[in-house]
Amino acid sequence: MTTNHSMPLVTQRLRERNREALEVMIDAEANANDYRTRVATTGLPALQHLAEVAQGNSHQPQHCRRVLLAVYNSYAWPLNLTSLRVLDGDLRGAALAVIEWSAVSDHELHEYLPDGHQLMQRFAAIEKQEEQ
């Protein structure tokens, strides 16, 4: 049985635990926001770089298109991880940055590109021709 004089101590400990839990939650939210900002800051230039390279006709552009199409519509264009392995180091880094950004972005990434939907449709048409 608890005596009346110990109740203020229990209440004080509960308030302290609640305050600590709230501080942890606030820190976690701030860290998550910082992470999303950092990813978006590196993701946009990476997306633009991949989209630029993807418009070429050699081996590297094909794999850049595959990464972008997987981010655009992974059900129709699943990503074969070999596409990442054959990219040059800077393009691989850009691809991974874009993939990471797509996981936390509030918008579809093609919306950040001028005529992004049409661009992705053009990439899909190119890749469908490559498959035939």
What domain count does the chain have? 1
Task: Note the pLDDT of residue 5.
Answer: 67
Count of CB atoms within 10 A of residue 12's CB?
10
Q: Using CA of residue 122, residue 123, residue 124, residue 130, what is the dihedral sign?
A: positive
Q: Are the C-beta atoms of residues 100 and 107 closer than 8 Å to each other?
A: no
Is 0.85 surpassed by the pTM of this model? no
Q: Are the C-beta atoms of residues 91 and 30 closer than 8 Å to each other?
A: no
Where in the sequence is the domain holding 39, given as residue range(s)? 4-131
Structure-block tokens of residue 52: 């630029």
pLDDT tens across the length of the chain (132 residues): 555 666 778 888 888 888 888 888 887 787 778 888 888 889 999 999 999 999 998 789 999 999 999 999 999 999 999 889 999 999 999 999 999 999 998 899 999 999 999 999 999 999 998 766
Task: Note the pLDDT of residue 4.
Answer: 61
Task: Note the pLDDT of residue 19.
Answer: 84
Residue 61 and residue 88: Cα distance in Å, rounded?
A: 11
8: left (phi over 0), alpha (psi -120 to 50) or beta: alpha
Please report, for the chain, how many H helices and E strands are present, in that order.
Answer: 5, 0
